[in-house]
């Protein structure tokens, strides 16, 4: 367990109700997920039930209890993207990465997720990788797209 990192994060937040979300955000940013041991340590230090932490962790989509890849791929499966072939792009990504939606490659390089309309319907089908939005993606472009990310 990385106690040093957790202590550093805890020091930034007063021991008050309402600070847990901020703490969990930082833990998620640092580890790219919320590791169980670290969550138990936070619960103990802040004297809150671990169930309270888990209820926050499972309520917000942004949090993950499983390790995520260095690069998170979100394929938009909203109506506009679906109509323009997002399903085929998703199938190609699944095939190339060898994971299902929600899965992470063994080398922790990629996590594959799907989302509903990211508000960029004119770019359909859209794929967001980390902070980058890729427009009008075709299955043929998938390999090149993946190569852009280490
Ligand atoms: S449906 Fe994909 S961006 Fe709106």
Note the pTM of the prediction, 2 decimals: 0.75
Could you list the residue range(s) of the whole structural domain that residue 31 is in? 3-59
Using alpha carbons, select from 1, 4, 59 the residue that is nearest to residue 35.
1
> Are residues 40 and 102 both part of a single domain?
no
65 lies in a domain? no
Shared domain for 43 and 106, answered yes or no, is: no
Please report the pLDDT score of residue 51 as a whole number.
94
Q: Using CA atoms, how far apart are residues 4 and 133, in angstroms rounded to an integer?
A: 35
How many domains does the chain contain in total?
2
Q: Is residue 27 part of a domain?
A: yes
Together in a domain, 78 and 52: no
Q: Per residue of the chain (150 residues), what is the pLDDT tens digit? A: 899 999 999 999 999 888 999 999 999 989 989 999 999 999 999 999 999 999 999 998 789 898 889 999 999 999 999 999 999 999 999 999 999 999 999 999 999 999 999 999 999 999 999 989 999 999 999 999 999 998
Distance, CA of 54 to CA of 36 (rounded, Å): 10
Out of 37, 59, 81, a domain closes at: 59
pLDDT in the model for residue 24: 96
Residues with C-beta less than 6 Å from any ligand 1 atom: 76, 78-81, 117-121, 124, 126
Assigned domain for 136 exists:
yes
Question: Tokens in use for 91?
Answer: 């199938």
Could you tell me if 118 and 126 are in contact, meaning their C-beta atoms sit under 8 angstroms apart?
yes
70 CA distance to ligand 1 middle (Å): 24
């Amino acid at each position: 367990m990385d106690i040093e990192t957790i202590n550093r994060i805890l020091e930034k937040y007063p021991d008050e109700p309402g600070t847990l979300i901020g703490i969990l955000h930082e833990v998620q940013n640092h580890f790219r997920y919320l590791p169980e041991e670290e969550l138990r340590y936070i619960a103990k230090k802040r004297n809150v039930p671990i169930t309270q932490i888990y209820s926050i962790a499972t309520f917000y989509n942004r949090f993950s209890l499983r390790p995520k890849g260095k690069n998170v791929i979100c394929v938009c499966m909203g109506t506009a993207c679906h109509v323009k072939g997002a399903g085929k792009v998703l199938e190609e990504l699944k095939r190339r990465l060898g994971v299902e939606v929600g899965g992470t490659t063994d080398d922790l390089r990629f996590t594959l997720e799907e989302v509903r309309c990211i508000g960029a319907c004119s770019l359909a089908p859209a794929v967001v990788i980390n902070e980058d939005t890729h427009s009008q993606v075709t299955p043929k472009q998938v390999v090149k797209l993946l190569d852009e990310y280490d």
